Amino acid sequence: MITRLYAPALLLLISFNAHANNLAASMADRVQACVACHGAEGRASAEGYYPRIAGKPEGYLYNQLIAFRDGSRQHAAMNGIVQHLSNDYLLQMAKYFAAQNPPYPAPAKTTATSNELEQGKRLVFEGVASKKIPACAACHGQALTGVEPYTPGLLGLPRDYLNAQLGKWRNGQRKAADPDCMHALVKALSSEQLNTATTYLAAQPVPKNPKALPANSLEFPLKCGTHTATAAPNIATVSREPIALDVLTAQEKRGAYLARLGNCAGCHTADPKKPYAGGRAIETPFGPIYSSNLTPNPETGLGNWTADDFYKAMHSGVSKNGDYLYPAFPYTDYTKMSRAEVDDLFAYLKRLPAIAQKTPQPELQFPFNQRPLLAVWRALYFTEGEYQPNSQKNEEWNRGAYLVNGPGHCAACHTPRNTLGGLKNNLNLSGATIPVLNWFAPALNNHPVHGLGNWSESDIAQYLQSGVNRHASTYGPMSEVIAHSLQFATAADSKAMAVYLKSLPAQAPSEKESTGLGQRTLQPLMRSGEKIYANTCAECHGEQGEGKANQFPALAGNVNVIAPNPVNAIRMVLNGGFSPSTRGTPYPHGMPPYRVELSNNEIAAVVTYIRRSWGNSASGVASIEIDKQRGMQ
């Protein structure tokens, strides 16, 4: 009996170790999005703007990645790159970079006087007794190389970077768990004192063995949040349930599943610590509308709502107080949901933790801020009614049609709109630029070039559940949908959606090509783009744009590359990023950002090249289009 129990356990251990070893071996490929800025192995960028992350304490790196992902530390590029990655993947990244030990460059030659360096040294090693400020070395180690697991080293960093970070600690842009020692200490010091400290630190060479000290090697003079608080529990996916499913009734579990399919939390969560409490700005061409509080708080949420009130909102687009709801809330799709499923969803929302958070008023332009005028809009663009199965189709097809056009509300992004925001139903799911967000949502029909014509049903189902397949990887707004919603769909529901989408007749996007560059402009762009592609892109995406299945997407025939609006390709080259961590693909590969390395002209050239090579025949891209997107993330 012992042998029978031991053998499977041993096999499980061997399998786990093999998986861990395989992941460790492939991390260098997976984190290309990181080393583009932070340098090979994380040794820092040549210009010094991006810091060295190699060899920093694992716990410190992990907590900073969590802070960037959840928004408590702000940097537009970093926030976007790690936005949909799980704690587990961020921990693996931290482990990888903490284990790297490339050589440090010699410190930059300083212009500081010996007196300034001496003042900085005293502050670093003695602190300021009169203000009860401890020495930097008291927390960061006598060698200034950091203390495991949460305190980073201070050497090998450019002075400009050190000054920038101290400035962020002072003004609150950088924060730590309470008590936030760094904020308090930096605020108590003058700018002159901080400058002498950073001048001294930047001028010091790094010791030959710069490994951080273990925490038990010194006693910290202060109890700081960065030393006592760890990041959130390790989880396999980026999106957790706000309430444990095993405490829910059968009806509430069905409601939780529907909330996932509709990605209710995605729109109705502004603060990750307050799920479903609303307050997120939904940007529209007419101004922002703020999502409502769906928790059972009686004053600010659904606490005083009845099941009938909720059904009226979902089915008819009318609030409890009788106001017409703005169609940023997609009741035009939710009206297709059955009363039973709406009741299931409501039962789940009533079980959520009640959070008091008022919903800001919409900030719409006149006359769109006049709710009574919605009666006209509704008469033109809203047809109330539950989904009626097509008797000519089987049960699986009807389930897919219901999910896509009902709780999934796919048309909200993938169907073009008119000037009043109404969906052009004759062009349903034919692809469209998402208003304000300015990403292109490709066609979901069977079009062979711009849609899913070359995808099999299994390709579509795999993409919906994992975010990657042999054709594509997901980026942009679809990453949020996969991360928080579709990856949790059952295999049967993913298959049903795939069956329905494959049945839709081919229809190309109605959107016109954004530019029409002449041959005199195209030819030099193509020549330049070919060179840039060979040097920068071919290693991952292949010499013929063939990609690497389930790792780096193919660019030949990629609907995001050849879309009439080139914005997706432009923004990916500019900003890079990762596909979301999912149960099917927990550790996705990353795309480096090239906004610093490549100029507008160079990005225009390489995007033009990939849009017009290997059988692709989309329009070229002018450098002015790149400039328009530089401010977008």
Residue-range domains of the chain with CATH: 51-235 (1.10.760.10), 246-386 (no CATH), 519-629 (1.10.760.10)
Per-residue pLDDT of 380-408, as tens digits, reads 999 999 999 999 999 999 999 999 999 99
- Whether residue 575 is predicted with pLDDT greater than 70 in this model: the reply is yes
Q: Are 337 and 386 in contact (CB under 8 A)?
A: yes
Nearest to 473 by CA among 69, 78, 32: 32
Identify the residue whose tokens are 């802070």: 67
Nearest to 330 by CA among 459, 395, 417, 452: 417
Nearest to 482 by CA among 238, 272, 230: 238
- What SS3 class is residue 433? strand
C-alpha dihedral over 503, 505, 511, 512, to 10 degrees? 130
- Distance between CA atoms of 17 and 253, rounded to whole angstroms? 35
Identify the residue whose tokens are 């530390």: 73
C-alpha 621, offset from chain centre: 26
Asked if omega into 367 is within 30° of 0 (cis), the reply is yes
User: Could you tell me the two tokens for 16?
Assistant: 């786990």
Per-residue pLDDT of 504-534, as tens digits, reads 999 999 998 876 677 788 999 999 999 999 9
Averaged confidence pLDDT in the chain: 90
Angle at 310 between CA 250 and CA 396, to 5 degrees: 55
Q: Give pLDDT, residue 236.
A: 63
Q: Give pLDDT, residue 328.
A: 93
The residues that bridge with 577 in the sheet, in sequence order, are 591
What band does 216 get if pLDDT is binned at 50, 70 and 90? confident
| Amino acid code (one letter) for 437 | L
Residues in the chain: 633
Alpha carbon distance, N-terminus to C-terminus of the chain: 58
Q: Are 78 and 49 in contact (CB under 8 A)?
A: no
- Whether residue 7 is predicted with pLDDT greater than 50 in this model: the reply is no
Using CA atoms, how far residue 220 sits from 275, 350, 361, in Å, is 35, 45, 47
Asked if omega into 149 is within 30° of 0 (cis), the reply is yes
C-alpha 576, offset from chain centre: 11
The arithmetic mean of pLDDT across residues 191-205, rounded, is 93
Strands (E), 281-388: 281-282, 289-290
- Whether residue 12 is predicted with pLDDT greater than 90 in this model: the reply is no
- Whether residue 567 is predicted with pLDDT greater than 90 in this model: the reply is yes
State the DSSP H helix or E strand holding residue 259, giving kind and residue range, or none if neither: helix 250-261
- Whether residue 535 is predicted with pLDDT greater than 60 in this model: the reply is yes
- Whether residue 6 is predicted with pLDDT greater than 90 in this model: the reply is no
Q: Are 75 and 34 in contact (CB under 8 A)?
A: no
Q: Give pLDDT, residue 15.
A: 41
- Whether residue 290 is predicted with pLDDT greater than 90 in this model: the reply is yes
- Whether residue 11 is predicted with pLDDT greater than 80 in this model: the reply is no
- Distance between CA atoms of 633 and 526, rounded to whole angstroms? 26
